[in-house]
Amino acid sequence: MKPCLRLLTLLCLMSFQSVFAQRPGGPQDTIYYHGNENLNIYILSSDYHKLTKDDKLQNILLDFQNKLKEIKSMVPLSSSYTIDYQYNSKIEILKSDRIASFTISEGKSLKQDFQNQALITDPGSRYHVNIGFDGLETLVNADFTQIIGEIIAELPGKDRYLRYLEYQPEATTNKAKLIQNRPSGYLDMLSLQAGVGANVFRSKFLTDITGELSLQLNQKGILRNQIYVSNNLMFSFNESNSAIINNFTNVGYRINFSNQRDKPNWLGVEFGTLTKRSGDIFQPNTMRFGFNWKAAKHITVAPQMYFDGFFKNVSPGFRIGIGL
C-alpha cells in the first residue's frame, strides 16, 4: 500500500472513532401539568409520544405511590424534604434545609413555591418526573392514572420537533387541557457558508475558496441532517507564476451523531465533478467521492478519492477546510 493511501486510511479510521464516541442523552420533551396550588408535575421524555404507546409511566407512578404508603410514618411533617424514587431500585427521603422558596412572576409579584418535591426516574431513563407538592396526602391520593390519561387525550400529533407542552385543569370539567404547545431548540434552517481549504492531490498542494448552501433539518431540537451543495474553486501557480484554476461542484449529505445541542459532530459523504479545468493537474471528466467530517466548529476534514475514465485512474486526495 502506498504511503499516501495508508495515511488516508488512518485518517478515515480516526474520524469514525471520534464520531461514534459520543455521550448518551440529549434534549427532552417537557410536559408540565399545572394541577392546582397543591400539586404540579413535570414529565421529561426523549419523545412525548411514548406516552401513547405503553403504560410504563402509569405503572411507575402507581408503584411509587404504593411504596410511599409503606413508609408514610417515616416522612417528616414539620420540615421540607425531597423524595428520590428510582423505579424498582430505591426510595429515599432527603431532608431539605430550605425555609421557603418564591417565584417572581411577570407582574413582579411573589408566589410561594411548593414546600416539597418528588424526583422519579426509571432505570431505562425513558421518563424523569418532578412533582411539586405541599402535603404528603396530596401526593398519596393523587389519581395519576386519570391525570396521565387526560394528558394523552390532549397530546398533539407526533412530529420531529422538541416540544414544551403545558396543561391546566379546566374550571368546569376539571380535566387537563393543553394550554400551550411550542417547539424549542433549533428548527429547520438554510445555511450559507464560505471558507478556504488546503488540498493534497498527487503530491501537489492546492488551495481553494469554497461556498456552501445547505438545508439543515432538526430532530428533537438538534440539527441532525444536512443536505448541501458546495463549490470548490481550486488554484495553484505554474512556473511562470500564472494562476491555474480548477473548479469542483459537489453535492453531499451529513448526519450529526452528537446529542449535545451546541457541540455537533457531523459526518457525511460528498460527490463532486470537475466543472472548470485548466492545466494538466486533473484529467477531463474527473470526479471525486469522499467523506466529510467537521472536526471542530470551523474545521472540516475530508479524505477523498479522485477518478476519471470510469474508475480507470483512481487517486487519493485530502482536504482540510477552514470556515469563515
Closest Cα partner for 123 from 60, 179, 205, 50?
A: 60
Residue 263 grid cell: 457541540
Residue 261 vs residue 25, higher pLDDT:
261
> If you average pLDDT over residues 50-68, what whole number do you get?
90
Say what the pLDDT of residue 24 is.
53
Q: Which residues contact 222 (CB under 8 A, 6 or more apart)?
A: 26, 27, 185, 186, 256, 258, 259, 261, 264
Measured distance CA(174)–CA(237) in Å, rounded: 78
Say what the pLDDT of residue 25 is.
65
pLDDT grade for 112, boundaries at 50, 70 and 90: low
Measured distance CA(304)–CA(318) in Å, rounded: 6
Is residue 66 scored above 90 in pLDDT?
A: yes
Q: Which residues contact 250 (CB under 8 A, 6 or more apart)?
A: 229, 230, 231, 232, 270, 271, 272, 273
Say what the pLDDT of residue 32 is.
95
Say what the pLDDT of residue 22 is.
45
Residue 301 vs residue 309, higher pLDDT:
301
Beta-bridge mates of residue 279: none
**Concatenated DSSP letters of 179-236:** EEEEEES---EEEEEEEEEEEEETTEEEEEEEEEEEEEEEETTEEEEEEEEEEEEEEE
Say what the pLDDT of residue 317 is.
94
Closest Cα partner for 132 from 111, 153, 152?
A: 111
Q: pLDDT digits over 30-40, tens only?
A: 999 998 778 89
φ, ψ of residue 292 in degrees (nearest 5) = -140, 110
DSSP 3-state of 136: helix
Say what the pLDDT of residue 122 is.
85
Residue 197 grid cell: 481549504
Say how many Å lie between the first and final Cα of the chain, rounded. Answer: 36
> If you average pLDDT over residues 268-272, what whole number do you get?
96
pLDDT grade for 277, boundaries at 50, 70 and 90: very high
Best-predicted range by mean pLDDT among 10-19, 23-32, 183-192? 183-192
Is residue 143 scored above 50 in pLDDT?
A: yes
Q: What is the average pLDDT value for the chain, to the nearest integer? A: 86
Percentage, residues of the chain above pLDDT 90: 54
Is residue 10 scored above 50 in pLDDT?
A: no
Report how far Cα 282 is from the mean position of its chain's Cα atoms. 40
Instruction: Please identify which residue in the block is written with the cell numbers 411514548.
Output: 50
